[in-house]
Every structure is written in structure tokens, then in C-alpha cells.
Structure 1
Amino acid sequence: MKTTILAALIGSTMLTAAWAADVPEGTTLAEDQTYTYRVLDEYDSLDPQMLEGVESSTVVRDLFEGLYNMDAKGELVPGVATSHDVSDDNLVYTFHLRDTAKWSDGKPVTANDFVYAWKRAVDPELASPYAWYMELMSIAGAAEIIAGEADKDTLGVKAVDDNTLEVTLSKPLPYFADMVAHATTFPSPSWAIEAHGKEWTRPENIVGNGAYILTEHVPKERLVRERNTRYWDNEHTVLDKVVALVIGDENQALTRYKAGELDKTDIPAGQYPALKDELPDEAYAVPRLCNYYFSFNLSDTGLEAFKDVRVRKALSMAIDRKVIVDAVLKGGQFPAYNFTPEATAGFELPEIDYAGMTQAERDAEALRLMEEAGYGKGGKPLEFAYLYNTSDSHKQIAIVATQMWKQKLGVNATLENQEWKVFLENRGNQNFDMARGAWCGDYNEASTFLDLLASSSGYNDAKYSNDRVDELLTEAKTSHDTTPLYTEIEQIVAEDMPVIPVYHYSVNMMLKPDLKGWPMDNVMQKMYSKDMYKVAE
């Protein structure tokens, strides 16, 4: 067996404090250790196996803990597991769990809690929106179970004993260990779920194993979590309380931030430069491993015009991405002409033909393609609805894009905004013509983005299907050199244009200077409240 010890050299001292709040010696901590921040909308779920949103994952990382966590630089560090072994054929992973991990009700966290959760995630009866992720992990039997062709108990995961979890893969996956930091793989308390059903995540019912417990949840208003004194590393947790306030209006949230009601909020589109001048120690713009795109509905319910690749490419080329990032967002975002962000580890930005054109050349080609397809100016009218979830920034981007299509191509697009849960349901069921899409990497490897374009992906909202793309994605899972494979995928996608890449993210946020420990150097921006603290002013 090949033994893998996380962070290369983890000693006994690191095992107790290295990934909790790292408070420098001599620091005077604030008396009130309450962190309050703004979220845009209500959470889709607080169930690890049912959530799908970024903000939901942030909360669940506080309430639950998986096998591994991430440190401030995005490197894996121990969570419930302290290390793992890998068999010589790279098909069997054996995780060694700490015997001090406990649930918030005092029960020990065991390997069986992970087995239960992982079988839950692939069970068609639960219909987890992230079931496909478990299949991507190459866990033996996952694909067959999700397809309804096998029983969930055939999943390649078992508890050797209370503190040993064994996972068998269907094929080697070089980045498998990175994937177990994702919320879908977190353990779940079977007794709480069986006792309370869908209500098990309510404050009065929930049982977690994270650094915090849920003490209050008023939907569409506020969510509060407080220190879990039974958490194995509670001694090194500093923040006592974390409060998330749902504030739909970004400008109102900024006003409340300036009034001292919030420790963190998002910067409204276009306001970063001015806020950086006004509050240089509080305004931040840092790269984030996320993309922003528009999805065409290519399913049978989609518009006939969108079945024509010339129309799709014309709409993509007519978008001046530099205007969107430099004049609308103004926060260090990067124009996107391919799907995967350049900041992704090991990814080499491929050559995409239209990326090398000037915007004037793209506009001319867009007009030619649209006329050739028989739509737009001088042709059949093209009208469609663009669906997005309610947000000032999303609205501004939508307005600018639709104006470009109108002025350059004679296309009429109407805007339709919906609150988060309704938006997710309609987008997932292809109840749209074109819809906003965005993806933040679940792990730092290009497949976390490109797998969304696989025919079988649960988040392939465009319902795009290309046999060669599927073949390349499968090959990349075991390849030692993925660069040519990912390059070909990106070039095929640029030719097919099932989605329109718009930009790659930068996190634009206001952060109070007394809040320390934010993971600025982690491009995935996976934060854990247990790693933060507030200093005395």
C-alpha cells in the first residue's frame, strides 16, 4: 500500500491546530466574536446530499465536516480523516478517521456515517442534484445505481471498522482525494434523517459534525450558526457566532455594511474602483475559480433557431466581453472565450479562433452568420427570453448583452428574472430559451468545469451532446497528459457553442479590517468560519 499523508508532512502538533484559526502570537482578540455577512437569496438546501448552491455549501461546511478540508491556499488538510492509503493499482482508497470526531448530539462520527451518506447521494429515490458528482468520482457501482440498474448497497464503499473507510473505484482517478472535500461527500446522521424526514435540517432537528451548529433559520431573512462545543477542534475555533442575512439588493447591503451592520458583503457591479479609493483596506478583488456563461436550451423544448449553430455563434460573437468586465463589472474579471478559467491548476489556455479577433471582426462575422442563417436584420425575426436569478449584477449584464444583440443583429431578447429556487427548477427542467449559468470549481482541475458539458451531466442545462467530447472526457480521467484532451474539448465547444462563455470570476467584496483569516490565496474561495477570527479595534 502507498501511504498518503496530507500536506506532505503532518506532525502531531499540526494535527491539532494547523487548519483552525491561526491567530498570531500577541494578537488581541475582539470581545465579540460574531461574524455577520450578506447573502443574495434563500438557500436551496442545508442537506449535504441535496444542496447545489455555493452559499448553501458555505453554510454546510460549517455545520458538517467531510474527510478532508482545504486550507487558506486551497491545499487539502485533515478533516474527519487524518490520512489515507492507496492500493498499488490506485483503485482502493482507505481513509483513517480520527476517533475524537463527534456529532453535535455526542455520538461518535464513524465510517458508517460516510457509507450511509454516499449511498444516499447515489440513491435515485433521493434524486440528489449532485448524484452525477458521485459518478464522476469513479466510485465503483455509482453509475449503475444512479441509472436505476443496481441497488445502492452495491456502491464501492464500506466501513472496515468505525474508524476505517474503504472506497473502491471503477478506474483510477488521479484527483480522487481532492473531490472528497466537497459537501456531497460529507457524512449524514441516519438517525436524525429517519426520525424527521425532510424536516431534519431545521434548527430543532439537525445534527451535524462541523465546527458550528444551526441555532436559527428564518427563510429569506437570516440564518445563525454557533460554536459546536463537541467539535473535535473546538479549542482552536475563535468565532462564536456566524450570522447570514438575506439582502436581495446589493446597494442596500453596501449601505448596511458601511453602517457597521455587516462584516462582509459583495460589491455592486461597477463600484469596485470607487470603493477601493474610498476604503482601500476593505475593498478586495481576487481571482476565483468560477465561470459565467449563457446556456442555450438545445433540448426538444428549445427554440428552433437555437438548433442552428450559426445563430448560437453569432450571438456569442456579438457580445463585447471587455465592455462587460471593464465598463459594467469593473472588478478585475477576465473576458472568457472558452469555458475553463485560466487560473485552474494545470490548465493551459487553448487557442480559440474567435478569441483572437478584434471585436469589430467578431461583430462582422456575427452579422454574416446571422444573415446566412436567415435571421435578424433583413431576415426572420429572432425573439427569445433570457432567464436569470434576481440580482442587480445579473440584470445589468443581461441588459448590456441584449442591447448588443439588438443593435448589432436586430435580435429582440426579453428579460425574465426569478428567485433562486424557482430559477434552479426551471433551468434544470429546460423551461427557458436562454439562461444564465455560472460554475465554481468543486475541486481544482479542469474536469470540474468541462464535465458539465458531458451528455450525462446533471448540470448540462443546455442538454448539449457531442460524442467526441464525451469520449475525450472519459479518456482524460486516466490520462497522464490531459492538456491536448482539454484543448480539443474547448475547441469543439467553441465550434458548437452550446453555451456562451462571458467572463471568468474575480471575487469583489467588502471585508471589515478587524475580520482576519479569509482565504485570499485560495482561488476556489472555500472558506470555513472556524479558520477566521476578529481582532480588537
Structure 2
Amino acid sequence: MTYLKRLLLSLVVLVLAVGCSPAKEDTEQVLRIAKDNDVSSLDTNVATDGLSFEVIKTFTEGLMEYDAEGNIVPGVALDYEVSADGTVYTFNLRDDAKWSNGDPVTAADFVFSWRRLVDPALATEYSYMAEGIMIKNATAVIKGEKPLTDLGVAALDETTFQVTLDAAVPYFIQLMTFPVFHPLNEAFVTAKGDAYAKSADALISNGPWVVTEWTEGTKIRVEKNDTYWNADAIKLDAIEFLIIKDYQTAALQFENGEVDMAKISADLVDRYKDEDFFETKKLGYTWYVAPNQLVAELQNENLRLALATSFDKSFITDSILHDGSNVADYIVPIGLATGPDGKDFRDGAETFLSFDAAKALEYWNAAKAELGVDTLTLELLVDDAADTKAVSEFLQTEWQTNLPGLTVTIQVQPKKNRLQLMRDGTYQLGLTRWGPDYADPFTYLGDLFQTGVNYNYGRFSDAEYDALVQSTAPGGSLSTDAAARWVALHEAEAVLLEQAGILPTWQSGEAMLVNPDVSGYEFHVVGQPSYRNVVKK
């Protein structure tokens, strides 16, 4: 039965059941979205994963936001000025921006949030971003060497927020859209204490919707926030994020009209690919295997190279995922950023670690000789989502087939647990992903793989790599030479991948079922999906 026929049948049943007096829920615009993983946190300063940020963006708003075309436009800030040397940003805030409890959104709310982000007592993972965008004294504050009040942020008055940087940062304004830099209502957060952001009633909104229901592992519901300054432009009365890890179940609920948007797995694509409600979209996430170099064997470069080149990535994208994903022989994704030459970073760039079973065997034999072993057992850590489990089983088969003597076991964990194990370094091989926080290669090369950074799960460390990346960072020797900086970023990617510091696998696409009555949803390579312009007929 086609989607239209199912919809017409549902409408007939509805009319027979309720006659001419529809209930309130039948007239509300409620968007229901199936998600295959749960959020890790709804605390703007603490969250680390894509779904958490996606939900947070529904109920909070930053200084700046993305529009439907991916342009940066005013959010809480009406406008801003930048000093001649690019180190002082002064934001003029809307005087009609309010919290859901009626309090005005003020410059002090941004000061409180940004100080909380770098507070060593909270020790947030994303505190590194305050350092990365060169906020004055951020590093010293994070280390506990200076007080929070020394951070380079100030409320000049209720509606004027000023940020002082140690050096000009070309992508600073892009990051003003990112949730960790959103405001927090100090009185509310303080009153909730340790309970803040742990439940629906322990959250407050300055965005289009407000969280009204949160059942961990099951459902998050946000409802329209009438105090939002632009509430008249928001058409959806509510959004429900439904945690449905099984894609077959999500698809069935879509067919039954219980879900409006659902990601599906490769085994379902052929069933739906000719339907008008089937879509694929390109994402900015790059998936890769992070070999943990705290494990002695994985410090061996030939072993890492053997693992990186011994599996067929095109089989993963075309047969397992089947969702528009691309083979990734790189870490910086297609479509992320345009260089000074007007070309995408990937245009004309090198590729690395392509599938080559014969070469992989040479690396493997060299690794065995260097390690003094004939056999080796490694464990691969993955999420419990259906697609990642399927990929892990394929990797296991490819590695054990193409690298004789290698045994690979698989440990499946909920995403939250998997991330914690990787942070702690208590794993061997980990299948993970990264989505860009801003449109610059530094969001991968600088934020992920420098020695000692938070998200360098595999503990990759290379002096040449660090020097190249640091030269391209804000304040670095190449930071103001756009052409030379671009060359150095390409060189840094080469240093990382030529020694298989990570094993790039695929750049995400996504196959989705979308209710044809839903329009106006936005997906960007950079940033979170937006539902601000969604209309549901």
C-alpha cells in the first residue's frame, strides 16, 4: 500500500471515529522523529554528541544561528562589531529575548555560561573550544591558574556582551551558533543545583520550544515556547524525539503514521527507494576506527597500516549502509570548507589508505616480524546501533580473512558507554565518528588529533603533525596567510594518515523516510538539523 493510500485510509477511520469534533491533538502540528540513539546530556556546556546538540538547539538559541541556506544570521544578538585587529567582539542583544519563565535574556547569561564552560570544577569536554577560539585567559582558567572572572568575557550592560580574544580567529562567528556557547539563566541553574538538566522540569528555554517531557531511552518532547522572541514564525506546536534503535520498528511506525521522519538501514532501502517519501542526504560526519596507541601492539605502524588497508570500504558504503555514504580515504570531509582558491578542501587533494589486500598483507607480515608474533587478537568496540554492528561484523570478517593469524572480537556497547570507554583509553580498536563544529578543516585536524586533546581517543602523537596544525591555529605563524595555511592543513592530514594514526572508513549519508506532508526541515554539513521552518500539513 502506498503512503498516500495509507494516509487516506487513516483519515477515513479518523472521520468515522470523531465525526465533526476533532480533538486538540488532531489539530496540533506535532513532528515525530525516530532516533537510533539516546542523548548523552541536555546540558549545553556538558553535551558532546550530535543528537544531544540537535535537541538542545530546539530549546536554546545562541548569539548567531544558521538560516535555511546555511548562512549565519542573528539569533539572540541583533548585530555585532569587531575591533580593527579582530580580537574584540561586541554583541548587541535583542531586548525582547526572554527565557521561558519570563526572565529577560541578558549579557550576564552569556558571561555565566561561558565561565561555567571553562570552570575546572565542572571539567567539561568542550572547554577546549574556549581555548581554541583564543578567549583571553581561557587556558589559565581551565588549568585553575586564574579565577573564572579573568576569562575574557564581559557584560557591559544588560544587552551588550563583549568577548576579548588573544588573537584573531577566522571562524569565531561560526562558533557562535554552537550550543556550548549558548546562554544559561544563572538563577535557574543555581537553584536546580546538581539536578540541573537531568529532567524536563530542570531545564529552561530561550529558544523556539521548551522541553516538557523526557523519559530516558524512550522519548523527548518539546513544545512551542510562547515567550520566544520569534514565536510567530514557529509553526510546529511540538516535536517528539522517539528513541527507536531498531530500524525495522522505526519503519513500521512510519508506515503506521506514528512517526514522520525515520532513518532506515541498508536492508530496508530497496523496499522504499522508489517511494515518494524516501530521501537520502549527505552529512559532514566522517567515521573512522581509532587504534588505541596505549596498546603496545597498536603502536606498531605496520599493524595500523595493515588494518587500514585490508577492508573494502566500498562494500560498506554500497552494500551495508546503502544510504548515500561515500568511501572516506580521508578525514576532512567533502563539502566542509572552501579554500582561498575557491575550491573545496577535497578538490584535487590526496587520498590515503585505500583498500589494497595485497599491500595490507605485506604490512601484516612486516608487523608480525616486528612484534615477534604469528597470531594476534584485538577487540573492536562499537555502538549498539544496527548499522554500526553490521559494519563491525564486516570489518571482523575482512580483517580475519585478509590478515591470516589475526582474530578480532567485537564489544557492543550503548553509545554513551562506548564513548566513555574510548575517553578512558580502556579499549583497543574503536569505531567512532566526528561531525564538524565549524566550516574549517581545523575542526578535524586541530580539535581531534593533536597530542593531548580531549577527543584524541587513540592517543596519536606526532611532533611534525602538532607543529603543522599549530601553525594554522589562531595566532599561529600561518594564521593570517590563507594560502600557506591551506597547504599546511593538507600536509597535516597526510602526516596523520600516512602512518594510519586513524583508519578512515566512510563519510555519512543517511537514508530516510519523510512524511510528504512535512516540509521546511534543514540539514547542513556543518551545524545541527533545524526544524524552525518546518510545516506539517
What TM-score do the two structures reach when normalised by structure 2? 0.89
Q: Decide which of 506, 519, 522 is 1:519's aligned counterpart.
A: 522
Letter in 1 for 2:437: D
Q: Decide which of 143, 157, 181 is 1:161's aligned counterpart.
A: 157
Quote the offset at 1:375 in angstroms.
Answer: 6.2
1:280-307 Cα deviation digits (max 9, x unpaired): x2111121111000101113xx2x2101
Letter in 1 for 2:144: G
Report matched runs for 1:444-455 at 5 Å: 444-451=439-446, 452-455=448-451
- Of 477-486 and 323-332, more deviation after overlay is shown by 477-486
Letter in 1 for 2:535: Y
**Residues 1:90 and 2:91 aligned together:** no
CA distance in 1, matches of 2:148, 2:465: 29
CA distance in 2, matches of 1:399, 1:377: 26
Letter in 1 for 2:529: M
Q: Decide which of 107, 110, 123 is 2:119's aligned counterpart.
A: 123
Quote the offset at 1:506 in angstroms.
Answer: 1.3
Quote the offset at 1:246 in angstroms.
Answer: 1.1
**Residues 1:227 and 2:230 aligned together:** no
CA distance in 2, matches of 1:476, 1:31: 53
Quote the offset at 1:197 in angstroms.
Answer: 1.4
Report matched runs for 1:16-95 at 5 Å: 31-95=27-91
Quote the offset at 1:532 in angstroms.
Answer: 1.0
| Match of residue 25 from structure 1 | none
Q: Decide which of 175, 194, 201 is 1:179's aligned counterpart.
A: 175
CA distance in 2, matches of 1:509, 1:328: 15
Quote the offset at 1:351 in angstroms.
Answer: 4.5
CA distance in 1, matches of 2:352, 2:421: 31
CA distance in 2, matches of 1:456, 1:81: 34
- Compute the RMSD of aligned alpha carbons: 1.8
Report matched runs for 1:386-397 at 5 Å: 386-397=380-391
**Residues 1:491 and 2:494 aligned together:** yes
Quote the offset at 1:188 in angstroms.
Answer: 0.8
Quote the offset at 1:348 in angstroms.
Answer: 2.4
Aligned length: 496
CA distance in 2, matches of 1:50, 1:472: 30
Letter in 1 for 2:264: I
| Match of residue 327 from structure 2 | 335
| Match of residue 438 from structure 1 | 433
CA distance in 2, matches of 1:238, 1:500: 43
SS at match of 1:204: helix
Report matched runs for 1:103-142 at 5 Å: 103-142=99-138
1:242-293 Cα deviation digits (max 9, x unpaired): 111111211111111111110011111343344212x1x2111121111000
Structure 1 residue ranges, 4+ long, deviating more than 3 angstroms after superposition? 350-355, 375-379
| Match of residue 16 from structure 1 | none
Q: Percent identity?
A: 28
SS at match of 1:327: helix
**Residues 1:324 and 2:316 aligned together:** yes
Q: Are residues 375 and 176 of structure 1, via their aligned partners in 2, closer, same or farther at CA, if it must alter by over 3 Å?
A: same
Higher RCO by CA contacts (8 Å cutoff, separation 6 or greater): 1
Quote the offset at 1:511 in angstroms.
Answer: 1.0
CA contact (8 A) 2:133 2:172 kept: yes
| Match of residue 533 from structure 2 | 531
What runs of 5+ residues in structure 2 fail to find an aligned partner?
1-25, 339-343, 474-478
Quote the offset at 1:81 in angstroms.
Answer: 0.6
Q: Decide which of 248, 272, 279 is 1:275's aligned counterpart.
A: 272
| Match of residue 374 from structure 1 | 368
CA contact (8 A) 1:519 1:525 kept: no
CA contact (8 A) 1:352 1:494 kept: no
CA distance in 1, matches of 2:121, 2:179: 19
CA distance in 1, matches of 2:496, 2:432: 15
Quote the offset at 1:41 in angstroms.
Answer: 2.6
CA distance in 2, matches of 1:271, 1:376: 45
SS at match of 1:93: strand
Q: Decide which of 458, 461, 469 is 1:462's aligned counterpart.
A: 458
